[in-house]
Structure 1
Protein backbone atom coordinates (compact mmCIF):
# COMPACT_ATOMS: atom_id res chain seq x y z
CA UNK A 1 0.00 0.00 0.00
CA UNK A 2 1.43 3.37 -1.05
CA UNK A 3 0.85 6.15 1.50
CA UNK A 4 0.37 9.71 0.26
CA UNK A 5 0.72 12.95 2.23
CA UNK A 6 -1.29 15.78 0.67
CA UNK A 7 -0.18 19.36 1.31
CA UNK A 8 -2.17 22.33 0.00
CA UNK A 9 -3.55 25.44 1.68
CA UNK A 10 -6.73 25.29 -0.41
CA UNK A 11 -9.13 22.98 1.37
CA UNK A 12 -11.11 22.05 -1.76
CA UNK A 13 -7.99 20.96 -3.67
CA UNK A 14 -6.68 19.08 -0.66
CA UNK A 15 -9.98 17.33 -0.01
CA UNK A 16 -10.45 16.51 -3.69
CA UNK A 17 -7.04 14.84 -4.00
CA UNK A 18 -7.58 12.97 -0.74
CA UNK A 19 -10.91 11.62 -2.02
CA UNK A 20 -9.25 10.41 -5.22
CA UNK A 21 -6.46 8.68 -3.31
CA UNK A 22 -8.86 6.95 -0.91
CA UNK A 23 -10.92 5.65 -3.82
CA UNK A 24 -7.89 4.12 -5.56
CA UNK A 25 -6.72 0.57 -4.93
CA UNK A 26 -3.19 0.41 -3.60
CA UNK A 27 -3.18 3.98 -2.30
CA UNK A 28 -3.94 5.44 1.12
CA UNK A 29 -3.87 8.91 2.64
CA UNK A 30 -1.03 9.30 5.15
CA UNK A 31 -2.29 12.72 6.17
CA UNK A 32 -3.43 16.16 5.03
CA UNK A 33 -1.67 19.43 5.76
CA UNK A 34 -2.51 23.06 5.02
CA UNK A 35 0.95 24.48 5.78
CA UNK A 36 4.59 23.54 5.39
CA UNK A 37 4.98 23.28 9.15
CA UNK A 38 2.13 20.78 9.38
CA UNK A 39 3.60 18.78 6.50
CA UNK A 40 7.00 18.49 8.22
CA UNK A 41 5.37 17.35 11.48
CA UNK A 42 3.13 14.79 9.77
CA UNK A 43 5.98 13.39 7.68
CA UNK A 44 8.09 12.96 10.82
CA UNK A 45 5.38 11.09 12.73
CA UNK A 46 4.09 8.95 9.87
CA UNK A 47 6.62 8.86 7.01
CA UNK A 48 4.75 8.73 3.68
CA UNK A 49 5.88 7.06 0.48
CA UNK A 50 4.86 10.04 -1.66
CA UNK A 51 4.23 13.69 -0.81
CA UNK A 52 2.04 15.84 -3.06
CA UNK A 53 2.94 19.39 -2.03
CA UNK A 54 1.79 22.80 -3.18
CA UNK A 55 4.91 24.68 -4.22
CA UNK A 56 3.59 27.96 -2.80
CA UNK A 57 2.39 27.78 0.79
CA UNK A 58 1.81 30.50 3.41
CA UNK A 59 4.55 30.74 5.99
CA UNK A 60 7.05 27.97 5.35
CA UNK A 61 7.23 27.51 1.57
CA UNK A 62 6.73 24.18 -0.14
CA UNK A 63 10.42 24.14 -1.05
CA UNK A 64 11.51 24.73 2.56
CA UNK A 65 9.16 21.98 3.72
CA UNK A 66 10.54 19.67 1.03
CA UNK A 67 14.10 20.25 2.23
CA UNK A 68 13.20 19.62 5.87
CA UNK A 69 11.21 16.48 5.10
CA UNK A 70 14.01 14.96 3.03
CA UNK A 71 16.70 15.97 5.53
CA UNK A 72 14.86 14.34 8.44
CA UNK A 73 13.66 11.20 6.67
CA UNK A 74 15.45 7.90 7.00
CA UNK A 75 15.98 5.83 3.83
CA UNK A 76 14.02 5.12 1.80
CA UNK A 77 13.18 8.81 1.67
CA UNK A 78 9.72 9.86 0.44
CA UNK A 79 9.27 10.96 -3.14
CA UNK A 80 8.09 14.57 -3.22
CA UNK A 81 6.03 15.86 -6.13
CA UNK A 82 5.36 19.60 -6.28
CA UNK A 83 1.96 20.92 -7.33
CA UNK A 84 2.01 24.16 -9.30
CA UNK A 85 -0.21 26.30 -11.52
CA UNK A 86 2.44 26.99 -14.17
CA UNK A 87 4.82 24.44 -15.69
CA UNK A 88 7.58 27.06 -15.94
CA UNK A 89 7.03 28.43 -12.45
CA UNK A 90 10.44 29.72 -11.32
CA UNK A 91 10.00 27.84 -8.05
CA UNK A 92 9.83 24.49 -9.85
CA UNK A 93 13.50 24.77 -10.77
CA UNK A 94 14.44 25.47 -7.14
CA UNK A 95 12.30 22.51 -6.04
CA UNK A 96 14.01 20.13 -8.46
CA UNK A 97 17.38 21.37 -7.25
CA UNK A 98 16.30 20.73 -3.67
CA UNK A 99 15.36 17.13 -4.38
CA UNK A 100 11.80 17.05 -5.68
CA UNK A 101 11.10 14.04 -7.86
CA UNK A 102 9.01 16.10 -10.25
CA UNK A 103 6.02 18.38 -10.54
CA UNK A 104 2.39 18.27 -11.62
CA UNK A 105 0.11 21.04 -12.76
CA UNK A 106 -2.94 21.61 -10.59
CA UNK A 107 -5.20 21.10 -13.59
CA UNK A 108 -3.77 17.61 -14.20
CA UNK A 109 -6.64 15.16 -14.92
CA UNK A 110 -7.40 12.87 -11.95
CA UNK A 111 -6.36 9.73 -13.82
CA UNK A 112 -2.99 11.25 -14.70
CA UNK A 113 -2.39 12.38 -11.12
CA UNK A 114 -3.07 8.90 -9.72
CA UNK A 115 -0.88 7.28 -12.37
CA UNK A 116 1.90 9.72 -11.51
CA UNK A 117 1.70 8.86 -7.81
CA UNK A 118 2.06 5.16 -8.60
CA UNK A 119 4.94 5.78 -11.01
CA UNK A 120 6.83 7.88 -8.50
CA UNK A 121 6.27 5.35 -5.72
CA UNK A 122 7.80 2.65 -7.94
CA UNK A 123 10.87 4.77 -8.60
CA UNK A 124 10.02 5.69 -12.19
CA UNK A 125 10.46 9.09 -13.79
CA UNK A 126 7.40 11.30 -13.46
CA UNK A 127 7.96 12.70 -16.93
CA UNK A 128 10.47 12.33 -19.73
CA UNK A 129 14.03 13.38 -18.78
CA UNK A 130 13.97 15.80 -21.73
CA UNK A 131 11.21 17.79 -19.98
CA UNK A 132 13.45 18.26 -16.94
CA UNK A 133 16.31 19.28 -19.23
CA UNK A 134 14.19 21.93 -20.98
CA UNK A 135 13.12 23.33 -17.62
CA UNK A 136 16.69 23.45 -16.33
CA UNK A 137 17.95 25.13 -19.50
CA UNK A 138 15.22 27.77 -19.31
CA UNK A 139 16.41 28.98 -15.90
CA UNK A 140 20.10 28.36 -16.49
CA UNK A 141 19.91 30.84 -19.39
CA UNK A 142 18.48 33.45 -17.03
CA UNK A 143 21.47 33.19 -14.75
CA UNK A 144 19.37 32.37 -11.72
CA UNK A 145 21.41 32.24 -8.49
CA UNK A 146 22.02 28.65 -7.50
CA UNK A 147 22.19 26.94 -4.16
CA UNK A 148 25.46 25.43 -3.06
CA UNK A 149 26.15 22.22 -4.93
CA UNK A 150 28.95 19.70 -4.68
CA UNK A 151 31.90 21.77 -5.95
CA UNK A 152 33.58 18.75 -7.48
CA UNK A 153 32.70 15.54 -9.23
CA UNK A 154 36.11 14.09 -8.41
CA UNK A 155 34.51 11.47 -6.20
CA UNK A 156 32.84 9.89 -9.21
CA UNK A 157 34.45 7.22 -11.35
CA UNK A 158 34.96 7.94 -15.04
CA UNK A 159 32.00 5.74 -15.90
CA UNK A 160 29.77 7.42 -13.30
CA UNK A 161 30.66 10.79 -14.83
CA UNK A 162 29.72 9.41 -18.24
CA UNK A 163 26.36 8.30 -16.90
CA UNK A 164 25.69 11.61 -15.14
CA UNK A 165 26.62 13.40 -18.35
CA UNK A 166 24.01 11.40 -20.28
CA UNK A 167 21.37 11.77 -17.58
CA UNK A 168 21.91 15.53 -17.80
CA UNK A 169 21.44 15.40 -21.56
CA UNK A 170 18.01 13.86 -21.03
CA UNK A 171 18.68 10.22 -21.91
CA UNK A 172 16.67 7.43 -20.30
CA UNK A 173 18.29 4.38 -18.72
CA UNK A 174 17.51 2.36 -21.86
CA UNK A 175 19.18 4.97 -24.07
CA UNK A 176 22.20 5.20 -21.79
CA UNK A 177 22.58 1.41 -21.82
CA UNK A 178 22.53 1.42 -25.63
CA UNK A 179 25.00 4.30 -25.83
CA UNK A 180 27.48 2.70 -23.43
CA UNK A 181 26.81 -0.86 -24.60
CA UNK A 182 26.03 -2.14 -21.11
CA UNK A 183 22.98 -3.65 -19.45
CA UNK A 184 20.15 -1.54 -18.01
CA UNK A 185 20.94 -3.07 -14.61
CA UNK A 186 24.49 -1.74 -14.88
CA UNK A 187 23.20 1.73 -15.73
CA UNK A 188 20.86 1.67 -12.74
CA UNK A 189 23.75 0.66 -10.50
CA UNK A 190 25.88 3.56 -11.73
CA UNK A 191 22.98 6.01 -11.32
CA UNK A 192 22.33 4.83 -7.76
CA UNK A 193 26.01 5.06 -6.84
CA UNK A 194 26.57 8.53 -8.27
CA UNK A 195 23.41 9.82 -6.60
CA UNK A 196 24.58 8.41 -3.27
CA UNK A 197 28.04 9.98 -3.67
CA UNK A 198 26.55 13.38 -4.51
CA UNK A 199 23.81 13.09 -1.84
CA UNK A 200 21.06 13.45 -4.45
CA UNK A 201 17.51 12.31 -3.83
CA UNK A 202 16.02 12.32 -7.32
CA UNK A 203 17.01 11.88 -10.95
CA UNK A 204 15.68 15.35 -11.70
CA UNK A 205 18.15 16.71 -9.15
CA UNK A 206 20.92 14.87 -10.99
CA UNK A 207 20.00 16.76 -14.18
CA UNK A 208 20.33 20.05 -12.30
CA UNK A 209 23.74 19.06 -10.89
CA UNK A 210 24.96 18.03 -14.35
CA UNK A 211 24.31 21.60 -15.54
CA UNK A 212 25.45 23.45 -12.44
CA UNK A 213 28.71 21.49 -12.31
CA UNK A 214 29.46 22.37 -15.94
CA UNK A 215 29.31 18.75 -17.08
CA UNK A 216 26.52 19.78 -19.45
CA UNK A 217 25.99 23.31 -20.76
CA UNK A 218 22.98 25.16 -22.13
CA UNK A 219 22.69 24.84 -25.88
CA UNK A 220 25.81 22.77 -26.16
CA UNK A 221 28.03 20.21 -24.60
CA UNK A 222 31.60 20.92 -23.49
CA UNK A 223 32.47 17.23 -23.52
CA UNK A 224 32.03 14.69 -26.29
CA UNK A 225 29.33 12.11 -25.76
CA UNK A 226 30.77 8.98 -24.14
CA UNK A 227 31.65 6.28 -26.63
CA UNK A 228 31.87 2.50 -26.34
CA UNK A 229 32.82 1.03 -22.96
CA UNK A 230 36.42 1.11 -21.90
CA UNK A 231 38.43 -2.05 -21.51
CA UNK A 232 38.09 -3.53 -18.06
CA UNK A 233 35.19 -3.41 -15.61
CA UNK A 234 32.36 -0.95 -16.22
Structure 2
Protein backbone atom coordinates (compact mmCIF):
# COMPACT_ATOMS: atom_id res chain seq x y z
CA UNK A 1 0.00 0.00 0.00
CA UNK A 2 1.29 3.44 -0.93
CA UNK A 3 1.92 4.58 2.67
CA UNK A 4 3.14 1.14 3.85
CA UNK A 5 0.16 1.17 6.25
CA UNK A 6 -1.46 -2.03 4.95
CA UNK A 7 -0.48 -5.27 3.23
CA UNK A 8 -3.00 -6.74 0.77
CA UNK A 9 -1.99 -10.33 0.15
CA UNK A 10 -5.02 -10.83 -2.09
CA UNK A 11 -3.56 -8.34 -4.58
CA UNK A 12 -0.01 -9.72 -4.62
CA UNK A 13 0.57 -11.35 -8.01
CA UNK A 14 -3.10 -10.84 -8.97
CA UNK A 15 -2.93 -10.05 -12.68
CA UNK A 16 -6.69 -9.66 -13.00
CA UNK A 17 -6.84 -7.05 -10.23
CA UNK A 18 -4.05 -5.11 -11.95
CA UNK A 19 -5.62 -5.19 -15.41
CA UNK A 20 -9.08 -4.32 -14.05
CA UNK A 21 -7.80 -1.43 -11.93
CA UNK A 22 -5.82 0.06 -14.80
CA UNK A 23 -8.71 -0.34 -17.25
CA UNK A 24 -11.13 1.31 -14.83
CA UNK A 25 -8.91 4.27 -13.98
CA UNK A 26 -7.63 4.87 -17.51
CA UNK A 27 -11.20 4.88 -18.85
CA UNK A 28 -11.88 8.01 -16.78
CA UNK A 29 -9.36 10.02 -18.82
CA UNK A 30 -9.86 11.56 -22.21
CA UNK A 31 -7.08 10.53 -24.59
CA UNK A 32 -5.26 13.88 -24.43
CA UNK A 33 -5.25 13.79 -20.63
CA UNK A 34 -4.13 10.17 -20.49
CA UNK A 35 -1.11 10.89 -22.67
CA UNK A 36 0.20 13.48 -20.18
CA UNK A 37 -0.86 11.77 -16.94
CA UNK A 38 2.07 11.57 -14.51
CA UNK A 39 3.13 7.95 -14.04
CA UNK A 40 4.90 7.90 -10.67
CA UNK A 41 6.29 5.10 -8.55
CA UNK A 42 6.98 7.39 -5.58
CA UNK A 43 6.22 10.95 -4.56
CA UNK A 44 6.51 13.30 -1.58
CA UNK A 45 3.39 11.87 0.13
CA UNK A 46 4.03 8.11 -0.08
CA UNK A 47 6.69 5.71 1.06
CA UNK A 48 9.38 5.11 -1.55
CA UNK A 49 8.54 2.36 -4.03
CA UNK A 50 11.82 0.56 -3.36
CA UNK A 51 10.96 0.45 0.34
CA UNK A 52 7.53 -1.00 -0.46
CA UNK A 53 9.20 -3.98 -2.14
CA UNK A 54 10.06 -5.28 1.37
CA UNK A 55 6.31 -5.84 2.02
CA UNK A 56 6.62 -4.39 5.52
CA UNK A 57 3.82 -2.46 7.21
CA UNK A 58 5.10 0.48 9.22
CA UNK A 59 6.48 3.98 9.40
CA UNK A 60 9.61 5.66 10.70
CA UNK A 61 8.31 5.94 14.26
CA UNK A 62 7.47 2.21 14.41
CA UNK A 63 10.48 0.69 12.64
CA UNK A 64 13.15 3.38 12.44
CA UNK A 65 14.60 4.90 9.25
CA UNK A 66 17.22 2.18 8.73
CA UNK A 67 14.55 -0.49 8.25
CA UNK A 68 13.30 1.27 5.10
CA UNK A 69 16.29 -0.26 3.29
CA UNK A 70 16.01 -3.74 4.81
CA UNK A 71 14.60 -6.65 2.82
CA UNK A 72 14.08 -4.64 -0.36
CA UNK A 73 13.92 -6.39 -3.75
CA UNK A 74 15.70 -4.49 -6.51
CA UNK A 75 14.31 -6.93 -9.08
CA UNK A 76 10.76 -5.76 -8.33
CA UNK A 77 11.91 -2.15 -8.59
CA UNK A 78 13.31 -2.80 -12.07
CA UNK A 79 10.07 -4.45 -13.18
CA UNK A 80 8.19 -1.38 -11.99
CA UNK A 81 10.51 0.98 -13.87
CA UNK A 82 9.98 -1.05 -17.05
CA UNK A 83 6.21 -0.69 -16.63
CA UNK A 84 6.52 3.01 -15.79
CA UNK A 85 8.54 3.70 -18.94
CA UNK A 86 6.35 1.64 -21.29
CA UNK A 87 2.89 2.62 -20.01
CA UNK A 88 0.68 5.30 -21.62
CA UNK A 89 1.25 8.67 -20.01
CA UNK A 90 4.21 10.74 -18.87
CA UNK A 91 6.81 8.81 -16.82
CA UNK A 92 7.62 11.01 -13.82
CA UNK A 93 10.60 10.17 -11.62
CA UNK A 94 10.57 11.35 -8.02
CA UNK A 95 14.16 12.39 -7.39
CA UNK A 96 16.25 9.58 -5.95
CA UNK A 97 14.13 6.69 -7.23
CA UNK A 98 16.57 6.33 -10.12
CA UNK A 99 19.45 6.12 -7.63
CA UNK A 100 17.93 3.51 -5.31
CA UNK A 101 16.79 5.85 -2.53
CA UNK A 102 14.60 4.32 0.18
CA UNK A 103 12.32 5.89 2.77
CA UNK A 104 9.10 5.44 4.71
CA UNK A 105 6.19 7.81 4.15
CA UNK A 106 6.44 11.59 4.66
CA UNK A 107 8.81 13.01 5.87
CA UNK A 108 11.23 10.06 5.53
CA UNK A 109 10.60 9.99 1.77
CA UNK A 110 12.27 13.43 1.43
CA UNK A 111 15.81 12.28 2.20
CA UNK A 112 18.73 14.00 0.49
CA UNK A 113 19.82 12.66 -2.86
CA UNK A 114 22.58 10.04 -2.30
CA UNK A 115 25.37 11.86 -4.13
CA UNK A 116 28.29 9.51 -4.69
CA UNK A 117 26.29 6.54 -3.38
CA UNK A 118 23.89 6.04 -6.26
CA UNK A 119 22.92 2.59 -7.49
CA UNK A 120 24.73 3.03 -10.81
CA UNK A 121 23.11 0.00 -12.41
CA UNK A 122 19.60 1.24 -11.59
CA UNK A 123 20.57 4.70 -12.82
CA UNK A 124 21.79 3.26 -16.12
CA UNK A 125 18.59 1.25 -16.50
CA UNK A 126 16.56 4.46 -16.24
CA UNK A 127 18.73 6.12 -18.89
CA UNK A 128 18.37 3.12 -21.20
CA UNK A 129 14.58 2.99 -20.86
CA UNK A 130 14.19 6.75 -21.31
CA UNK A 131 16.21 6.57 -24.52
CA UNK A 132 14.16 3.60 -25.71
CA UNK A 133 10.89 5.41 -25.04
CA UNK A 134 12.00 8.59 -26.80
CA UNK A 135 12.94 6.64 -29.94
CA UNK A 136 9.75 4.54 -30.16
CA UNK A 137 6.47 6.11 -31.24
CA UNK A 138 4.40 3.19 -29.91
CA UNK A 139 5.75 3.71 -26.39
CA UNK A 140 4.96 7.41 -26.51
CA UNK A 141 1.52 7.54 -28.11
CA UNK A 142 0.62 4.02 -29.23
CA UNK A 143 -2.34 1.89 -28.22
CA UNK A 144 -2.17 -0.62 -25.37
CA UNK A 145 -3.60 -4.13 -25.14
CA UNK A 146 -3.35 -6.66 -22.33
CA UNK A 147 -1.97 -9.86 -23.84
CA UNK A 148 -1.45 -12.39 -21.06
CA UNK A 149 -1.87 -12.75 -17.33
CA UNK A 150 -1.37 -15.47 -14.75
CA UNK A 151 -0.27 -15.57 -11.14
CA UNK A 152 2.74 -13.22 -10.80
CA UNK A 153 2.99 -12.67 -14.57
CA UNK A 154 1.61 -9.90 -16.79
CA UNK A 155 2.15 -9.04 -20.43
CA UNK A 156 0.83 -6.21 -22.56
CA UNK A 157 1.49 -4.72 -25.97
CA UNK A 158 2.09 -1.15 -27.14
CA UNK A 159 1.59 -0.65 -30.84
CA UNK A 160 0.97 1.72 -33.73
CA UNK A 161 1.55 1.58 -37.48
CA UNK A 162 5.33 1.83 -37.07
CA UNK A 163 6.15 -0.22 -33.96
CA UNK A 164 4.89 -3.33 -32.15
CA UNK A 165 6.20 -3.74 -28.59
CA UNK A 166 5.59 -6.55 -26.08
CA UNK A 167 6.31 -6.10 -22.36
CA UNK A 168 6.43 -9.11 -20.01
CA UNK A 169 7.04 -9.14 -16.24
CA UNK A 170 7.54 -12.07 -13.89
CA UNK A 171 7.10 -10.89 -10.30
CA UNK A 172 7.45 -14.37 -8.82
CA UNK A 173 10.30 -16.23 -7.17
CA UNK A 174 10.38 -18.98 -9.80
CA UNK A 175 11.36 -19.19 -13.46
CA UNK A 176 8.37 -19.17 -15.82
CA UNK A 177 7.75 -20.05 -19.46
CA UNK A 178 4.83 -18.21 -21.07
CA UNK A 179 3.25 -18.04 -24.51
CA UNK A 180 2.25 -14.55 -25.60
CA UNK A 181 -0.42 -14.07 -28.34
CA UNK A 182 1.43 -11.36 -30.26
CA UNK A 183 -0.98 -11.67 -33.19
CA UNK A 184 -3.37 -9.54 -31.14
CA UNK A 185 -1.20 -6.45 -31.74
CA UNK A 186 -0.59 -7.16 -35.42
CA UNK A 187 2.55 -9.32 -35.34
CA UNK A 188 2.31 -12.02 -38.00
CA UNK A 189 3.69 -15.55 -38.32
CA UNK A 190 6.35 -14.46 -40.82
CA UNK A 191 7.60 -11.71 -38.50
CA UNK A 192 10.64 -11.98 -36.23
CA UNK A 193 10.40 -10.63 -32.69
CA UNK A 194 13.56 -9.29 -31.09
CA UNK A 195 14.29 -8.83 -27.40
CA UNK A 196 15.73 -5.37 -26.77
CA UNK A 197 15.97 -5.36 -22.97
CA UNK A 198 15.87 -7.81 -20.07
CA UNK A 199 16.06 -6.98 -16.37
CA UNK A 200 16.93 -9.40 -13.60
CA UNK A 201 17.46 -9.00 -9.89
CA UNK A 202 21.21 -8.70 -10.43
CA UNK A 203 21.58 -6.87 -13.75
CA UNK A 204 19.99 -5.72 -16.99
CA UNK A 205 20.89 -6.61 -20.57
CA UNK A 206 20.35 -5.08 -24.00
CA UNK A 207 21.67 -7.99 -26.06
CA UNK A 208 19.36 -8.94 -28.91
CA UNK A 209 17.53 -12.29 -28.79
CA UNK A 210 15.23 -13.38 -31.61
CA UNK A 211 11.90 -15.15 -31.16
CA UNK A 212 10.01 -16.93 -33.92
CA UNK A 213 6.28 -16.35 -34.17
CA UNK A 214 4.49 -19.70 -34.30
CA UNK A 215 0.71 -19.78 -34.70
CA UNK A 216 0.56 -16.15 -33.65
CA UNK A 217 2.49 -16.68 -30.42
CA UNK A 218 6.00 -16.39 -29.03
CA UNK A 219 7.32 -18.57 -26.22
CA UNK A 220 9.39 -16.69 -23.65
CA UNK A 221 11.36 -17.90 -20.62
CA UNK A 222 11.38 -15.48 -17.69
CA UNK A 223 13.80 -15.53 -14.78
CA UNK A 224 12.48 -14.77 -11.26
CA UNK A 225 11.73 -11.07 -10.70
CA UNK A 226 12.51 -10.13 -14.27
CA UNK A 227 11.08 -8.14 -17.16
CA UNK A 228 11.55 -8.23 -20.92
CA UNK A 229 10.82 -5.80 -23.73
CA UNK A 230 10.41 -7.45 -27.13
CA UNK A 231 9.69 -5.70 -30.41
CA UNK A 232 8.77 -6.73 -33.91
CA UNK A 233 11.94 -6.64 -35.97
CA UNK A 234 11.45 -4.36 -38.94
CA UNK A 235 12.34 -5.91 -42.27
CA UNK A 236 13.53 -3.98 -45.31
CA UNK A 237 10.04 -3.84 -46.82
CA UNK A 238 8.36 -2.64 -43.60
**TM bucket by the smaller chain?**
under 0.3
Q: TM-score, normalised by structure 1?
A: 0.27
**More relative contact order, 1 or 2 (CA 8 Å, 6+ apart):** 2
The structure with the greater share of residues assigned to strand is 2
Q: TM-score, normalised by structure 2?
A: 0.27
